[in-house]
Structure 1
Amino acid sequence: MTGPIRICFFGDSFVNGTGDDDGLGWVGRLVARARRAGRDVTSYNLGVRRDTSADIAARWEEEARRRLPAGCDARLAFSFGANDCAEDEAGGARMPLEATLAHAEKILRDAAMLAPVLMVGPFLPGGPRVEARIDRLCGEMRSLGAELRIPYIETRGFIARCEVFLREADAGDGAHPNRGGYAALADFIGASPAWRAWLDGELTSAKDAPADR
């Protein structure tokens, strides 16, 4: 068994696990899997419903520092952007793409100074306009991760093909799945070389492992 790890997961309702009757989401399932494998993991789920990149930019550092004492083996995971792409009352995006990318760059640059960082790409089942925004944002996020040498796991394509996720989301609020969808997503992320290397402390930059698409 390796030493203890503290992980902060920052994001929105998808990080929070909204809609999961088991209350685990993909985060809880990945942490449970790590513990079953013998990892001493303390996790903090800091996903907040409806949070945009601006909201996360305003809160993440203070919340992380309260949970990550000096000298601990820390990790920082982020997944956001879906709420930025969601439609506002006028039918436009809640957050312009340029603003989302500016927030993301600031978050990821600053976070990398504190601990190894992982970015999980955004996803949001929805209409064509929302999905087009998500697709464009994902491409920009991939490029940003490569530029900053921060590992990035793309989930958009997987969600678009995941029948259980889409079926459960459609049966629920139209966006969030139940246990089956989150379990499938946890399997997908957990199988990523970037996730495994980051969790094991072997990965500090995007050049060390291929991004998942």
Structure 2
Amino acid sequence: MVRPACEDLPVVLDLRVCFLGESFVAGVGDQKCLGWAGRLAARATAAGQPLTYYNLGIRRENSTELRGRWEAECAPRLPAGADCRVVISTGVNDTQFENGRPRVDSAESVRNLAEILRRAREKGWQAMVVAPPPNVDDEHNARLLDLDVRYAELCEQAQAPYLRAHQPLRENQIWMRDIAAGDGYHPSATGYDEFAALLAPHWLLWLADPGSELPVVR
């Protein structure tokens, strides 16, 4: 059997993606143990884009805690020479009330995300940010919408793609019914299917061309 010349072999891209964030990234409540992050990784593979996927979500973590640990966890997973990406979604736990006030002030939330994006850029890692999703608490959602606007402004300045998924999910009856049937925050596999479907076209475009200008999620 004649072996093909090296130049005839297909080039396999070493694409590695770390998903950073809280319980929604980790997939809490999902009977399939995938969350929206695992579903996006599966869609990429199905679309012919193989990748190495790392889920680094931690339940109940806020953006200050994420800022303190993310780089050390990503560094061994995103080696030089690979196509290294990070997807970030944080903010729900920041805006939860504890002792009569949000766990993290919104200005600090923005500073935390800005620092993560700055360091990712310095490391040469492409970054994309996903908005924190809604829940059944209208007052909490109002705080999340305010943070959503701040995050969008920051990402525009940092030239990082930002997927404004909060409002579309709030208007999605399947998502809202699903979280209401559970703990008011976390969906089942059904809700995560909706979240991933909303993000998937933008995710696949970003994988193909991280420098492309993604359309706004509406």
| Shared fold per TM-score greater than 0.5 | yes
Inter-partner Cα distance in structure 1 for 2:99 and 2:207: 40
1:83 is aligned to 93
What CA deviation, in whole Å up to 9, does each residue of 1:80-127 have, x standing for no partner?
A: 01100111132x211111111111111111112221100001123132
2:5 is aligned to none
Inter-partner Cα distance in structure 2 for 1:30 and 1:128: 28
- Residues 1:113 and 2:118 aligned together: no
TM-score normalised to structure 1 length: 0.92
Indicate the RMSD between aligned Cα atoms, in angstroms: 1.4
1:197 is aligned to 205
TM-score normalised to structure 2 length: 0.90
Does the 8 Å contact 2:16/2:83 carry over to 1? yes
What CA deviation, in whole Å up to 9, does each residue of 1:149-196 have, x standing for no partner?
A: 00000011111011121112111111000011100110100022xx23
Inter-partner Cα distance in structure 2 for 1:51 and 1:124: 16
SS, match of residue 99 in structure 1 = helix
Inter-partner Cα distance in structure 2 for 1:75 and 1:123: 21
Aligned residues: 207
2:81 maps to which of 71, 75, 79: 71
Extract unaligned runs of 5+ from structure 2: 1-9
Shift of 1:66: 1.4
Shift of 1:37: 1.6
1:27 maps to which of 37, 50, 66: 37
Shift of 1:135: 0.6
Does the 8 Å contact 1:15/1:79 carry over to 2? yes
Name the % identity.
35
The residue identity in structure 2 corresponding to 1:112 is: R
SS, match of residue 98 in structure 2 = coil
Matches within 5 A, 1:148-163: 148-163=158-173
Inter-partner Cα distance in structure 1 for 2:50 and 2:169: 30
- Residues 1:130 and 2:145 aligned together: no
Instruction: Answer with 1 or 2: which has the greater Rg.
Output: 2
1:11 is aligned to 21
Shift of 1:11: 0.2
The residue identity in structure 2 corresponding to 1:203 is: P
Extract unaligned runs of 5+ from structure 1: none
Inter-partner Cα distance in structure 1 for 2:66 and 2:197: 26
